[in-house]
Amino acid sequence: MPNTFSPNFPATTDQFVGFVVFWFISTPFLWLRPEKFKIPFLIVCLWCGIGMLAWMIWAVTTAKGVGPLWDAGENIPSGSAWGTSWLIMAGINQTLGGIAAGITNGSDFSRYSRGRTPYMVGTITSCVITSVIVSLVGLVTTASGQKLYGEIYWNPPDLLMRMMDNGNGSSKARAGVFFLAAGFAFTAMFENICGNAVSGGIDLAGLFPRYINIRRGAIITFVAAWVVQPWQLINRATTFIAVLSSFSVFLAPIIGIMACDYFLLRKRRIRLRFFISAFVFYVLNKILPVLDMDQIDPIDLYGTFTEAEAKRAGVVPLDDSPILRGVSGGRSTEHVVIHAEKDVLATPQYCINIAQRAIEDL
């Protein structure tokens, strides 16, 4: 594909077309509820994981071992002001910076967990075990690629393109590169949807709950990708490094401070009475009171609580909640029929609110 962009534009025509195709393929998945992501995520993770392992096995077998990169050891410039220990600490800091955004958004998805143990197992597996395995596979594949092609390719797409060129575009080369690239692309797509679009949607829904729900917020966040111009981040090294550094410089130290403060200093005990802010907040709400501030929903509409938690909170669990039998756009609100297994007093206006929320969720 010929490049029709100017040399000053930080992307080529084929790269920009790839971004457009990626964006449009990703968009329909924004209509999925977060709790429905399990099966698509399972498929793409298996696809990508098996593809990476197959790629590593192929590279090691074809090269008959790993290249000199594997045994290169440390290579610190003589004029460097930093020793090995400080470089290791810098690597740890950069690693935390890379996953800090995901850690920050962890609470958005931990609420979908059935308990503490599954969430902890999933977090440790993804952040520690999987990261180590992926790094090892990447290092072995890159070292074998160095032995095959005489160059070091740290970026997987670059190595895939070299495989295409080396195979002269044969059917085997095209098939192998296609399945590997598709696995990486779909994995990146779902990671982008979950970690960026949905998380942004949850944040926007929290800021403007009256006008924006999670789905609308995710769509707004996804459209904002055009404003961010990701091709600037990928193809300009200085910008890319600056973005990564911004995460590691701020978020990684903050996480360290918060972990030390919570686990070591406070020993997981937190007093929730912050006196000055509480007093100011109380006075402001007395001067400008919020209507119905002391009211709660009598029904757990979104299945937030377990049955025991709902009982403690004084609300009807979702399984025992009123069932919306029918809502017709052409009929008046009096035709909204609500039936409850328990005695729940619901005003006409409350019935209307339930109907409106049901329509929005649909």
What DSSP line would sit under 99-134, residue for residue?
A: HHHHHHTHHHHHTTSSSHHHHHHHHHIIIIIHHHHH
CA 341 to chain CA mean position, Å: 39
pLDDT above 50 (res 301): yes
Q: Among 45-54, 68-77, 216-225, which stretch is predicted with the lowest mean pLDDT?
A: 68-77
Q: What is the mean pLDDT of residues 59-71?
A: 88
Domain boundaries, the chain: 13-70+84-265, 322-361
Residues 6+ apart with CB under 8 A from 44: 183, 186, 187, 189, 190
Q: How confident is the model at residue 323 (pLDDT cuts 50, 70, 90)?
A: very low
Separation of alpha carbons 18 and 230, rounded Å: 12
Q: Which of 105-109, 204-208, 268-272, 296-300 has the highest mean pLDDT?
A: 204-208
Q: Is pLDDT above 80 for 66? A: yes
Quick check: 171 pLDDT over 60?
A: yes
CB within 8 Å of 154: residues ≥ 6 apart: 138, 142
Query: Residue 2 phi/psi, 5° resolution?
Result: -70, 145
Give yes or no for residue 333 having a pLDDT over 60: no
Half-sphere exposure of 356 (CA within 13 A, CB side): 10
Would the pLDDT of 225 be above 80?
yes
* Position 322 confidence tier, pLDDT thresholds 50, 70, 90: low
What is the rounded distance in angstroms from the CA atom of residue 362 to the CA atom of residue 360?
5
pTM for the complete prediction?
Answer: 0.61
